[in-house]
Structure formats: structure tokens, C-alpha cells
Amino acid sequence: MHALITGASSGLGEAMARHFAAAGWSLTLVARRKATLDALANEFQTPTHVIGADLSNLDRAVEVIAESQQALGPIDALINNAGVQYVEPTAGISHERSELLFKVNLLAPMRLIHEVLPTMLERRSGTIVNISSMAGITPTPGMCHYNASKAGLAAASESLRVELADSGVHILTVYPGPVTTPMETAARDSFTPHWAVRNVPTGTPEGMAKLVLSGILKKTPRIFYPRVYGMARHTRVLSQWVTDTFAPPLKDE
Ligand SMILES: NC(=O)c1ccc[n+]([C@@H]2O[C@H](COP(=O)([O-])OP(=O)(O)OC[C@H]3O[C@@H](n4cnc5c(N)ncnc54)[C@H](OP(=O)(O)O)[C@@H]3O)[C@@H](O)[C@H]2O)c1
């Protein structure tokens, strides 16, 4: 089995790469920090192909699929994981920065899906995993562009799952809550210290990685992690009220 994981140089992507390699998968690892990916690939016993790519360059994102399939054959699982997050006052974010975020978090995943889908449909097999966020379900103040990008990815992912239900291609949408990674640590540090920030249920990258692999194998439609956040899907109005009421202010507001 061959998985392409974007954003494999850190956090969730790195943990998924380790977990999938341990389970015997061949891997294509994609991120900008190629040297970090090379070091990770050297640890693995399974065939691993490394691609240094800036996914905000959408033409480069398209090339990644062909390069990966040429190196290791058809992709069985595309994992759209690379992401950027700004936790800061929205008014100070330039158009350039906001558009970069949408390219990495939403437009590059859509391009990668578009490129990989024909082969998967032809083979009537394959999984596309889209790493959205709880921010796509209950948007958090101070992360305006991020919330929108993750809601967009979740909407695309959920609708594609139903569209492709009889095609043999499985779509898995992942909604992580806080999971300890460099992105999550930076986000937490951007809010004023507050009991709500200190006490929210938080997961580990390894725990997330295990659920994603098992979700692929069991063809699960969606994953919430830590699992308690799954409630928000059924209690959306209440969950949004809790977020609006208890989200602490940003440090630099
Ligand atoms: N951790 C959480 O609490 C949490 C919660 C909800 C959702 N998520 C989502 O989970 C995913 C992984 O996040 P993480 O927490 O593991 O963050 P992370 O540790 O900051 O990792 C982000 C990854 O994305 C890659 N990346 C960023 N910009 C890129 C670009 N322009 N081109 C290619 N790759 C790029 C980074 O690689 P390079 O810097 O080497 O390019 C890195 O490997 C993201 O989509 C994030 O939104 C995380």
C-alpha cells in the first residue's frame, strides 16, 4: 500500500508517516523542509519517496501526484494534512498572507484530489483523507481565515464522500481538536492564559495517527479526536455558544 502524506515534516503528518511506515506502507512524504523529510525517510524500512514542495504553489502541488506515482506506483491513500494557521487579529492580516493560507489549506488539497481521483476511480479503489479541524465546525475567534479554510475543506470532503459512495473510492474527513504539535503550541500561546485554554481535552499526534490508519482500513466516514469533540456535530448551536462565550481574548488585542 502507498500513502502520500502532505505536511509530513512535523506534528500530525510526521506521526502518521511513522505509524504508516511501521504498518508496512510505502510512503511519499511532502513538505517544504526536504532535509527533515530525508532524515525521517532514512528511519523507515519501507520504500519512501521524498518530495520537497511548497504547496502554496498550486502548479507544484499538481506535479507532486505524478512524481509520487512514478516513484512508487498508484497512490492508495492521499492524506491532505499540510496546513498553516494564523491566530491573530484579522485586521492585521494582509491579502497575501490570507491567500497563502487558503492555497495551502484548501486549494492545494482540491488540486491534489483532482489529480489523484481519475486513477483511483479507474482502479475503483483508494482513500482520500482530508485533515480539517474542529475549527471547521465551531469556529474559534481570532482564527478567521483558518476557520473558513477548514470549514471549506470539510464541506468539500463530506460532499465528495457521498458523491463517490458507489465508486470504490473512500473519503475520510478528520476533525482534530487540539493535538500537541508545534502548530497547536503556537496557537495556545497566542491566547491570554485562561482556564479554558489550559483545560481543553488535548490529544497526541500518535493517537491521531492510529485513528487515521484504522479509519482508512475500516472505511470510516469521519473521525473526531479527542473523541469527546464528536458531540459538537450533534450539538452545534450549543458548542458554538460555549466557544463564543469561553474563548479567551488574543494576547495582542
Ligand atoms: N495540531 C492541532 O491541534 C490541529 C487541530 C486541528 C487541525 N489540525 C490540522 O492538522 C494538520 C497538521 O497540523 P500540525 O498540528 O501537525 O501542524 P505543524 O506541526 O505545524 O505541521 C504543519 C505541516 O504542514 C507543512 N506545511 C506548511 N506550509 C506548507 C507549504 N506551503 N507547503 C508544503 N507544506 C507545508 C509543514 O511543513 P514545512 O514547514 O516543512 O513545509 C508541516 O509539515 C494541519 O492541516 C492543521 O490545520 C491540527
Which grid cell is 104? 495551502
Residue range 221-246: mean pLDDT, rounded: 92
Whether the pLDDT of residue 125 is over 80: the answer is: yes
Q: Please give the residue range of the domain that contains residue 22.
A: 2-246
Q: Is residue 252 assigned to a domain? A: no
214 — pLDDT class (breaks 50, 70, 90): very high
Does residue 253 lie within any of the structural domains?
no
* Residue environment code for 144-160, b if the CB has 16+ CB neighbours within 10 A, otherwise e: bbbbbbbbbbbebbbeb
Indicate whether 224 belongs to any domain.
yes
How do residues 129-186 score in pLDDT, each as one tens digit?
999 999 999 999 999 999 999 999 999 999 999 999 999 999 999 999 999 999 999 9
User: What CATH number does the domain containing 217 carry?
Assistant: 3.40.50.720
Flag whether 120 is in a domain.
yes
Domain contains 51: yes
Largest CA distance in the chain: 52
pLDDT tens digits, one per residue of 27-36? 999 999 999 9
| pLDDT at residue number 252 | 67
Per-residue pLDDT for 196 more than 70? yes
Question: With 90 as the cut, is the pLDDT of residue 247 above it?
Answer: no
Residue with the smallest CA separation from ligand 1 atom 41 is 32
Q: How many CB atoms lie within 10 A of CB 235?
A: 12
Q: Has residue 251 been placed in a domain?
A: no
Task: Determine whether 146 is an active site residue.
Answer: yes
Q: Report the atom number in ligand 1 closest to the C-alpha of 135.
A: 6
- Residue 17 and residue 107: Cα distance in Å, rounded? 23
Q: Is the pLDDT of residue 245 over 80?
A: yes
**Cβ of 184 below 6 Å from ligand 1:** yes
pLDDT in tens, 55-91: 999 999 999 999 999 999 999 999 999 999 999 999 9
Task: Count the domains in the chain.
Answer: 1
Centre of ligand 1 from the C-alpha of residue 166, in Å: 31
32 lines ligand 1 (CB under 6 A): yes
Q: What is the pTM of this model?
A: 0.97
| Structure confidence at residue 193 (pLDDT) | 78
Mean pLDDT, range 194-219, rounded to an integer: 92
**What's residue 194's pLDDT?**
78
